[in-house]
Amino acid sequence: MLSRIFSCAVVGLEGVVVEVEVDFTNGQPGMTIVGLPDTAVQESRERVQTAVKNAGLHFPRHRVVVNLAPASVRKVGPYYDLPIALGVIVLGGHLAPETLESTLVIGELSLDGVVRHARGVLPMAATARAQGYKRIIVPEMDAAEAALIPGIEVIPVSTLAVLFDHLSGSHLIPPYQPSDEVPVPLYLPTDFAEVKGQEHVKRALEVAAAGGHNVLMTGSPGSGKTLLARALPGILPEMSIDESLDVTRIYSVADQLPAGTPLIRHRPFRAPHHTISHAGLVGGGNIPHPGEISLAHRGVLFLDEFPEFGQRVLEVLRQPMEDKFVTISRAQGSLTFSANFQLIAAMNPCPCG
């Protein structure tokens, strides 16, 4: 009799439900994890065993086999610790399997059983809702993010022991209730009104802000290009809730959501330095991460000292600027990240100034 707990992986910007199957077999006590796990998932073995014992629960003296399905999805990161631990506890007969029906479980465990922050909780909650799950169990600090998705119960957990008490019915955790916190902007712009004169440039920027147009500013040193660009976020139109969720999803996956900011309400403003690599700009890495152009989605990408950027770096901007998204292909498959940004560039008329 195996136990089956549902968890979630993030592929690109989308959540994919992962089934965590746990069973006992013959052999030396310990744990084997199969189903395309990366190193962080393999290390779950050690974390789960210690966390279960330290939570005051019994770790079975059997060989435990864990299968993460579907095997075709690459499992990255330590988010399966909590579902694996629950699977072991259920299989050991300490919890009824029904307690985890229609529930997604996400969370990394520390050795003492504390549940740690997970990245990408927003797309995971969205997937849970879309696939008809009733409940999602998430780390306490990520509950506000999960609660952005309406119509799903969010159970915030601090430790494995507390979750065990909740599931066994001895001490229930109340579902997370969202609070009305005032969102803090990611970037504090210069006040547009502080720019003296420059009426024509200000007008051009106002038109660009209203219409989402790209702008190239050229002018001699000290003429206020950087200042004007940095004042632009202050006059950008507000984002709708859907746009906010769109942007927040990218920051959630990139693990760049500032603490205490579950929802990004202000348009992003990204100003990468000109030494940035093309992978940093458009996204990339072995397991592709969103780059600056995706972090600037529905906001502004400001490239100061434009000619200093490498030619190859600028060339890779072409396709995303036309398509409003970028597709990154790797041997394991290709991922698409949104990249609908407004480009503001500033340069001197000639390298000598």
Ligand X SMILES: Nc1ncnc2c1ncn2[C@@H]1O[C@H](COP(=O)(O)OP(=O)(O)OP(=O)(O)O)[C@@H](O)[C@H]1O
Residue ranges in contact with Mg ion by CB under 5 A: 226
Place of tokens 């779950």: 44
Residue closer to ligand X, measured from CB, 55 or 301 = 301
Residue nearest ligand X, Cβ-based = 224
Question: How many CB atoms lie under 10 A from the CB of residue 290?
Answer: 27
Residue closer to Mg ion, measured from CB, 24 or 302 = 302
Q: Could you tell me the CA-to-CA distances from 171 to 34, 40, 282 in Å, in that order?
A: 34, 31, 47
Residue type, 31: M
- Quote the least distance from Cβ 349 to ligand X, whole Å: 10
Residue type, 187: Y
**What tokens appear for 201 in the block?**
């440039």
Nearest to 117 by CA among 164, 69, 157, 176: 157
Residues that bind ligand X (CB under 6 A): 195-198, 219, 221-227, 348
- Quote the least distance from Cβ 346 to Mg ion, whole Å: 6
- Quote the least distance from Cβ 191 to Mg ion, whole Å: 18
Residue closer to ligand X, measured from CB, 195 or 314 = 195
CB 108 within 8 A of CB 81: yes
| DSSP per-residue letters across 81-107 | HHHHHHHHHHHTTSS-GGGGTTEEE--
Residue closer to ligand X, measured from CB, 151 or 222 = 222
Residue closer to ligand X, measured from CB, 147 or 300 = 300
- Quote the least distance from Cβ 224 to Mg ion, whole Å: 8
Helix (H, G, I), strand (E, B) or coil at 10: strand
Give the DSSP H/E element, type plus range, for residue 247.
helix 241-253
Place of tokens 């100034």: 353
Residue closer to ligand X, measured from CB, 215 or 250 = 215
Q: Which does 222 bind (CB under 5 to 8 A by kind): Mg ion, ligand X, none?
A: ligand X
**What tokens appear for 5 in the block?**
């707990």
Residue closer to ligand X, measured from CB, 223 or 336 = 223
Residue closer to ligand X, measured from CB, 40 or 227 = 227
- Quote the least distance from Cβ 301 to Mg ion, whole Å: 16
Place of tokens 């079975």: 60
Q: Which does 348 bind (CB under 5 to 8 A by kind): ligand X, Mg ion, none?
A: ligand X
- Quote the least distance from Cβ 227 to ligand X, whole Å: 3
Nearest to 190 by CA among 248, 140, 229: 229
- Quote the least distance from Cβ 225 to ligand X, whole Å: 4
Q: Which residues pair with 167 in a beta bridge?
A: none
Residue type, 234: G
290-293-298 Cα angle (round to 5): 105
- Quote the least distance from Cβ 193 to ligand X, whole Å: 10
Per DSSP, 304 falls in state: S
